[in-house]
């Protein structure tokens, strides 16, 4: 019993250390932005930043659960593009059908991933690569390789363009609710503990009688649903379903999860730190493109990639040092 308690204490300290690294880096960059630019803290910039990054936060949350089991989901970017078109087609009937239809389409892709990975035992990389290509092709087919405009007379665009209160958009409110629910699932339910256990050792989890199959199916359905919701945000916020949007989103989601301290081998992860990781990556992009609120690009795309890679590397190093410090303090 004492050993189990010590294991939990060590895990708790390590997770807090990793989460702290993300928020320390995020706070430092916010302070830099406030000192460097006059309008960085304006309501317009804050609202635009949160609205745009709500898509990346939500797919990162789904990806976090997948990676905690030791899996991967490469399909989320093009699934989001596909669901943005579905939502745009359903937009004349209002926000509820478009929202439900988009999320349902994402869950359907997640179900295909789950079938390929769990009963058919395909490697997650191969399975989700195939559904990524299927989603990309499907998007081009149903849209005719054209953007699909939403119905501006319906209330659908209010989801992505209106503010819930102050500069806070409705999309970030939904993301916050989803994050709280997923945090409760991960930290307070047997399903969440099984997800972590499967990532630690799938074989041992099975021998312990845990419901491994249910946990693995759940994470891929969740990832698909989160990608579907990101697509709904995309269509509502930009006024159109876009078949080729979402390229590279899966890499952004994976990077957010890793920056948040989740192990790519599974068994360890944090919902708040994943949110922090997604915000951090979004903030780097925001700062690199910020010219005192005018929204014009101030640095070439090539240098932006170099700088973003450097920031990622620095944050991961910071997390590693803080984790080692926590280990030495025990």
Average pLDDT of the chain, as a whole number: 86
Cβ–Cβ < 8 Å for 90, 263:
no
pLDDT at residue 263, as a whole number: 81
Domain 42-290+298-322 -> CATH class? mainly alpha
**CA angle (160, 173, 87) in 5-degree steps:** 35
* Residue 38 CB partners (closer than 8 Å, separation 6+): 292, 293
Categorize the per-residue pLDDT at 299 as very low, low, confident or very high, splitting at 50, 70 and 90.
Answer: low
Q: Is 219 exposed, middle or buried (0-12, 13-18, 19+ CB in 10 A)?
A: buried
Mean pLDDT of 116-128: 95
Nearest CA-CA partner of 195 in 77, 103, 327, 62: 62
- pLDDT tens-digit map of 17-65: 556 678 888 899 899 888 888 888 888 888 889 999 999 999 999 999 9
Alpha carbon distance 186, 269 (integer Å): 9
258-267 pLDDT tens trace: 888 888 888 8
Question: How is the chain split into domains, by residue range?
Answer: 42-290+298-322
What phi, psi does 254 have (nearest 5°)? -65, -45
Residue 142, pLDDT score: 93
247: left (phi over 0), alpha (psi -120 to 50) or beta: beta
Sign of CA dihedral 143, 140, 227, 56: negative
**Residue 11 pLDDT exceeds 70:** no
Phi, psi angle pair for 60, to nearest 5°: -70, -35
Q: What is d(CA 128, CA 120) in angstroms, rounded to the nearest whole number? A: 13
pLDDT in tens, 71-87: 999 999 999 999 999 99
* pLDDT at 286 exceeding the cut of 90: no
Between CA 213 and CA 162 the distance in angstroms is: 40
Q: What is the dihedral of CA 282, 229, 172, 266, to 10 degrees?
A: -60
- Label residue 2 by pLDDT band (50, 70, 90): very low
**pTM across the whole model:** 0.87
Nearest to 267 by CA among 186, 200, 195, 219: 200
Question: Is residue 176 predicted with pLDDT exceeding 60?
Answer: yes
């Amino acid at each position: 019993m004492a050993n189990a308690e010590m294991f939990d204490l060590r895990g708790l300290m390590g997770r807090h250390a990793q989460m702290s690294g993300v928020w320390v880096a995020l706070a430092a960059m916010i302070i830099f932005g406030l000192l460097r630019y006059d309008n960085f803290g304006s309501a317009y910039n804050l609202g635009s930043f949160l609205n745009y990054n709500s898509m990346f936060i939500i797919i990162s949350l789904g990806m976090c659960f997948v990676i905690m089991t030791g899996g991967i989901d490469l399909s989320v970017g093009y699934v989001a593009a596909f669901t943005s078109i579905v939502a745009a087609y359903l937009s004349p009937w209002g926000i509820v059908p478009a929202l439900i239809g988009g999320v349902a389409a994402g869950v359907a892709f997640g179900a295909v991933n789950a079938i390929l990975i769990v009963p058919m035992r395909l490697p997650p990389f191969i399975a989700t690569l195939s559904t990524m290509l299927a989603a990309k092709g499907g998007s081009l087919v149903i849209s005719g390789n054209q953007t699909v405009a939403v119905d501006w007379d319906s209330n659908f665009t209010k989801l992505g363009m209106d503010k819930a209160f102050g500069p806070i958009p409705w999309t970030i409110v939904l993301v916050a609710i989803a994050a709280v629910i997923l945090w409760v699932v991960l930290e307070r339910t047997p399903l969440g503990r099984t997800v972590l256990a499967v990532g630690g050792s799938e074989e041992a989890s099975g021998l312990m009688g845990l419901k491994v199959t249910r946990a693995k199916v759940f994470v891929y359905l969740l990832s698909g649903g989160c990608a579907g919701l990101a697509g709904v945000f995309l269509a509502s916020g930009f006024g159109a379903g876009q078949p080729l949007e979402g390229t590279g989103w899966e890499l952004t989601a994976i990077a957010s999860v890793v920056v948040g301290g989740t192990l790519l081998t599974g068994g360890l992860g944090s919902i708040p730190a994943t949110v922090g990781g997604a915000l951090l990556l979004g903030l780097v992009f925001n700062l690199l493109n910020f010219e005192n609120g005018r929204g014009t690009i101030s640095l070439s795309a090539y240098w932006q990639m170099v700088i973003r890679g450097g920031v990622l590397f620095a944050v991961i190093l910071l997390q590693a040092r803080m984790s080692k410090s926590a280990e030495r303090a025990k």
